[in-house]
């Protein structure tokens, strides 16, 4: 496998950082995921099955609705707050 270097300005790099699934995801992994996601013909079968399972489970859907309601009332924490608390 050939390795190459690309140049990005800081603004683009910052935006890519926000799109990472986790802080250890490489830019190669991120860009590959974005390319796959951009193709309308590619459907992640496992993700689709998981989504159907969640939507089919009344208890899970009630839990999600309750959590969203609590968050809207200000009872939740943002991802940024949790990251700050655990010092990520």
For residue 1, the model assigns a pLDDT of: 78
- Provide the sign of the torsion angle of the four alpha carbons 60, 62, 67, 71, taken in this order: positive
- Angle CA 15–21–23, to nearest 5: 80
How much is the pTM? 0.41
CA distance 87 to 4: 33
**Residue 66: HSE in the Cβ half-sphere, 13 Å Cα cutoff:** 6
Most confident range, picked from 7-16, 36-45, 73-82 = 7-16
For residue 22, the model assigns a pLDDT of: 87
Q: What's the length of the chain?
A: 88
The yes-or-no verdict on residue 73 having pLDDT over 80 is yes
The mean per-residue pLDDT over the stretch 21-33 comes to 88
Share of the chain above pLDDT 70, in %: 91
Coil, helix or strand at residue 12: helix
């Amino acid at each position: 496998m050939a390795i190459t270097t690309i140049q990005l300005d800081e603004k683009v790099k910052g935006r890519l950082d926000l799109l990472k699934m986790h802080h250890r995801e490489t830019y190669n992994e991120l860009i590959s995921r974005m390319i796959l996601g951009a193709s309308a013909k590619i459907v992640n079968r496992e993700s689709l099955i998981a989504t159907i399972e969640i939507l089919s489970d009344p208890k899970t859907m009630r839990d999600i609705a309750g959590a969203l309601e609590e968050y809207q009332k200000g009872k939740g924490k943002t991802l940024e707050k949790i990251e700050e608390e655990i010092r990520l």
